[in-house]
Amino acid sequence: MPGLAMRGVLLVAALAAGPGWLSAQEVIDRIVARIENDVILLSDVRALGRYQQFLDGKAESDAQILDRLIDQWIVRTEADASHFPHPSEADLDRALARVRNTFASEQEYEARRKQAGLTEQDVRAMVSSQLYLSNYLDSRFRSAVQVDPQEVEDFYQTVVVPRARSRGQEPPALDAARDSIQEALIQNGINQQADQWLKESRLRLHLEKSLGEVAK
């Protein structure tokens, strides 16, 4: 299920960056948002933009990235408060390998990384944060997501089969695709639950944004 899987990767990547993850010498001390007793800096917005450019070849607007960072703050704050475990080095290495595999070659990976102005340490820090946040959301919402067997069959008929045929390929058998379809539907349900939770959480926060006051 490459289409759904990539959308899942990008959603998680949108949640990945955290304030202060890039090297100290690049910090720009301009506040663009205040959340409770914490702040988000313009450098944080620029950092996530560079990672998006590296991963997807393009970045969202500064306003969209700031909203991503606010969502990240909410997820990270609750995960930290619950003492949620950080990923192991082995899990992080596997996640880094998955990121590398989204590129056509090692040469493309290196070229895009350098073009975005990221070091290997920057990428590792970003992926570690991504994994921590996505694992927490999975732990928090997976049990609430129920997938009906008919949903799996409907997805197979309306998405998997047409997509394979449009590429001139023979569709996989339903039984062979069932597990991947079910996991994709679960991830979609987790995303929906998380989106609703984030919207409700924002209403309870003391939040001030000042990105528009900062010169480009």
pLDDT tens for each residue of 145-189 = 999 999 999 999 999 999 999 989 999 999 999 999 999 999 999
Q: Residue 141 is part of a domain; what is its CATH number? A: 1.10.4030.10
The answer as to whether 53 is a domain residue is: yes
pLDDT higher than threshold 80 for residue 28: no
Distance CA 104, CA 66 (A): 30
Q: Is residue 187 part of a domain?
A: no
> In the chain, where does DSSP find H-type helix?
2-14, 42-56, 62-81, 89-101, 106-115, 120-141, 149-155, 161-166, 174-203
Task: Indicate whether 195 pLDDT > 80.
Answer: yes
Flag whether 157 is in a domain. no
On the question of pLDDT at 92 being above 50, the answer is: yes
pLDDT at 17 over 90: no
Tell which residue, 68, 87, 90, has the closest CA to residue 16: 68
Is there a contact between 128 and 87 (Cβ–Cβ < 8 Å)?
yes
- Kindly state whether residue 193 falls inside one of the protein's structural domains: no
d(CA 50, CA 44): 10
Average pLDDT of the segment spanning 125-143 = 96
In a domain, 49, yes or no: yes
Q: How many residues would you count in the chain? A: 216
For residue 154, give the amino acid letter.
Answer: D
**Domain presence at residue 185:** no
Range of the domain at 59: 2-146+205-213
123 assigned to some structural domain: yes
Q: Structurally, how many domains does the chain consist of?
A: 1
Task: Say what the pLDDT of residue 212 is.
Answer: 74
pLDDT beyond 80 at 29: no
168 inside domain = no
Contact yes or no for 109/100 (Cβ under 8 A): yes
